[in-house]
Structure 1
């Protein structure tokens, strides 16, 4: 807002012809914005006697201002008072449908000078025009800057995207670049750490998931509390640093087990469960034939076996011939399990 902008106030003072030394003297006394200058004395616009304002300027500047300087200071005081009243009115009439306040150009340019130039946004910026309803119910043309989605495939492009986001939040005055960039460095340090044996590196997907979890928590915690207090840290920075160490955020940065290790564990588990038995589920004794060194296509059915399928005598635990092995499926095995027995299984 222009009323709280130090750069906008000082630039306007220079435009009116006030000397830089006088501006520095006001700044040293804490008068560096429209808001502070509008209430620097008990004088109010419209009063006949401005002795209070002249006395304040004489004390602050360590000398009585000249007649020409007094006219400039009076004009700046009237502008500061008018902006102060306008700010009070806009706060009283503000609703959820009201548009966001625009940062003064002088303040915006000063913030941009403190940052690196963002070429990607400048080259890709577009204006999106649409019709919206104002507070009185009428239609008006709204123009908003539109940015195309930027490719973030790969670690380098993802880091550049995080960098641009940090600059944007710092430019808007919501957060400081140092706090956001510290989180970015932490994410990419995690990606470059050497994992333990049989574990994988932290992936880009894990980094994005951790970043999303952090922003959700910060958003819920700072809703309606982003307005910074004079001389205090930004509420966004405090919440951001607190939740960056939250377990629900850091769990996304836990190294995952590699696929090769999982297969190796599964193989060891199956080997330990088998304990040397044959892999064929139909072969209960782990033998292919009774004779040693002989190859038989089947095994004789014991005499006391009374399991019949389609009129043929079968035994679920012995292979009769190659044909049975080929055609016997899981449904037939279930059928054999459910059939009644008159004697003990062979």
Structure 2
């Protein structure tokens, strides 16, 4: 005999579970005397979390809708406002489970969409329920509501309110008060610098409302003698701080910094004004104020070093994982040329591959390991007090505390003029300053010899003075000591000794000078330099000849150039002067000047 058919097993099992004898006798008298008969008393199977919502019968569904239409006589429940059958089934199942869940607006399509997207044949799929049972179930086609606009979202919320009202969870009037509160916040004018409440914020607040309501109805949501539990806590939930703070306008994001690209037409007006300013600088003696004005026109970036903020602009070569040219070389070629010309004007013998301008940047103690052994040149562009560059030196008079240790060094007063120091081997930092501290730093990357031929020629065409291997080897063996350069520079001359030390080729000595105006090829300056005479060839920046010596790009059409020449002749002994007739871009024809007399000799 099977265990399920055993009467003795049924009696012993009932007594073990605590069933009293009089109750057991009633079961036996009714014919329920074994486990098999007891098991088939009911066909009810407990619902699991994976089970689909129970569908309402058609008469029940029609009765709920009819009673709702009578109760809400002022509302047309038809078309886009009629909730789909699946939405009502979910709400009814929620009521029977006696637990409030969040029903997203996008899960509340209208009945018309359900009919349009209904499949002729449902797909079958194997599923495993929470108890581990495998069954073949029908895969119901999911239809989502479109909530991409204000109107569509409001219609979806209205359908959800009607479905919840039919299920007896919350009355439609209470739910509609929440919808009105959402869109009141949506269309409220925000304060200045604040953005209007977005649809995403409405969705977040709607979700949080159901979270708070579910927390306040843990005892259940089914109808009781004094009304619907959700209706009683609905107003309190709507005004909850966890919900209302999600409906506040948010601060607008700051505008993105303008970063024009080489193929961006939107940068045209900006570049036209900037290009006119740059081309004007290339034909004259460049002042600090000119470079500072140019820097204020250029886009800024956060510095790679420094603490406490600050901005910078970098152009020239870079050496990180790869070696190449920075994008600013291609985007701002004229600005790059102006900065390079200013560096060569300030220290003609200085060799560099990169130029960077720092504005309000304070660096902590560090060494620039990616730099070459050539010294860094720092030039002030603005007027400020203090803000020296402290460079470590064993014999220096100025002490600084670095990582708990006291180190000696030299404080280079960069506010007074250009300074030179070895940034690769000597630890250095920035002291505090007063005012706006803007400085230009020109240095050479360590892997300058890895630059491609095209990249090197591009830098040379933009007036960069690229280093050579012998010069780097010289500074490897003889490190640059912290030093100051004369300021302002009185003349951009070239040393007369071709093999001289670049560290000592700075303006300020009083050797007689050979001055060549409209130098062209600068052949004569080349010969004088080989003879040991300091030379200074001058020609326009658009010189069509290939100069054989380093030429100072100055235009004789500028008054500032003649002021410079007068100061040069007054402050420095001149051995020879050669002035060739002007030609090319300096000719009277291009300047539009009329001749003194015509062909017939008439004045």
TM-score by length of 2: 0.30
* Bigger fraction of residues in helix: 1
Query: Of the two, which has the highest radius of gyration?
Result: 2
